[in-house]
Amino acid sequence: MNECLILIVEDDTNAIDSWARDIGEFNEEQAEGAFKFEAIYSGTRQEALKVLNRTRINCAVIDLRLPPAPGGDNSTANPLGNDILEKVLIETGVPAVVYSAHAAEASELVRKSNIQIRSKKGNGGTEILQYLAGHEGLMAAMEITRKKIATESAKIFNESIWKRWETTWNSMADRGMLAEMITRQIASHVADRLSLPPANHHPDEFYIIPPLFAARLDTGDLITENGNVYVVVTPRCNMANEPPPMHLMLALCRPMTADWDELRQGFNAGVESKREKSAITKLRNFSVQNHSTSTHFIPPCGDNGPWLIDFKETKGVLSTAAPELLQNRFASISTHFVPNLVQRYAAYLGRIGQPDLDWNILREHICK
């Protein structure tokens, strides 16, 4: 990212002049073609919201106490800067910093988020610019992501949505339902197009943190209980529809501490050694689920795991316990990987099998 568009919301002209100097000095110190800031200034809540609605910014620095816009301001936020911060947080998702002499007045939503809260002091502007510059990689990734999503959304709109609108949807009276339906279709199309990697998924993509559904459990949710980790294997449709099932099914996730230690020792044994080759084969087998049908490999989640889900060790819990389980949920297997979990669980349940034959008698038969 060569140019970072930063929104600065500040009504004090002296503070704005200070920001201009800090940004100018920061940019002068950068090499040709390196990361630099370009600022947009807003002095009121309404000006800032207009910028956010019309411009794709990369980061923001926002004062809390702002004057009402000329003609009044219909916001109930106090101070007004909280409105802007919450819009940045919920709708934009870019790195942001509260910079105010009254930083304690930031809303609870802002305080609980990843928005930095800093009090005005000395060379605080320079420190904030350095902090934001340290997130250049994140901002660049977000910019690329937004462009890709916008491009795919435009494609599906022109190739499918527009044609359906002209032929059938224009006559629909419930425009709210239509908007929701189009949103789901575009979202699912974009997800299908962009979720397929060129080769392999990065292991960090395996989990959704925090889980996708805040108010209910979902298939693939990971839960801690009495020192153990369990994964929800109840079908998603059962939990999403009414009435909910009376019982939820959980499968035990067994820690792979010994396996991981063995793999680590193998990889440290030396390049091209037998132990390293064996470790490579074993790890590949885990990653592609080439192991017992009764287990399912899930990779580390932060500092926890990895685990083998043990389908032989399942238990049912009353769905009335869901609120407590939600409190102990720390991640969810991402949508792209849940189908394989469900498929392997179904394959395990669907085994017919047969009683064991006495192989010693067979050996005697062969040796006659």
- Measured between alpha carbons, how far is 30 from 323 in angstroms, rounded to an integer? 52
Do residues 23 and 56 share a domain? yes
Assess contact for 5 and 38: CB atoms under 8 A. Answer: yes
CATH number, domain containing residue 298? 2.30.30.110
Do residues 91 and 212 share a domain? no
What is the residue range of 152's domain?
142-196
| Cα–Cα–Cα angle for 176, 178, 184, rounded to 5 degrees | 105
- Cβ neighbour number for residue 224 with a 10 Å cutoff: 15
Phi/psi at 177 (5° precision): -65, -40
- Measured between alpha carbons, how far is 233 from 339 in angstroms, rounded to an integer? 11
Which tokens go with 108? 């609870």
pLDDT tens digit sequence for 45-69: 999 999 999 999 999 999 999 887 6
Helix-strand-coil split of the chain, %, nearest 5: 45, 20, 35
Quote the DSSP letter at residue 92. I
| pLDDT confidence of residue 237 | 84
For residue 243, whether the previous peptide bond is cis, meaning omega lies within 30 degrees of 0, is yes
Q: Would residue 250 count as lying in a domain?
A: yes
Rounded to 10 degrees, the C-alpha dihedral 132/123/48/85 comes to 60
pTM for the structure as a whole: 0.77
| pLDDT confidence of residue 77 | 66
Classify strands 59-62 and 96-100 as parallel, antiparallel or unpaired: parallel
Nearest to 60 by CA among 1, 154, 139: 139
Which tokens go with 32? 């040709």
Do residues 166 and 213 share a domain? no
Do residues 55 and 153 share a domain? no
* Ranges of the chain with pLDDT below 50: none
Do residues 177 and 224 share a domain? no
Do residues 332 and 226 share a domain? yes
Structural domain tally of the chain? 3
Residue with tokens 């559904």, as numbered in its chain: 213
Query: Looking at the DSSP assignment, which residues form a beta bridge with residue 7?
Result: 40, 60
CATH number, domain containing residue 8? 3.40.50.2300
| Cα–Cα–Cα angle for 325, 330, 333, rounded to 5 degrees | 100
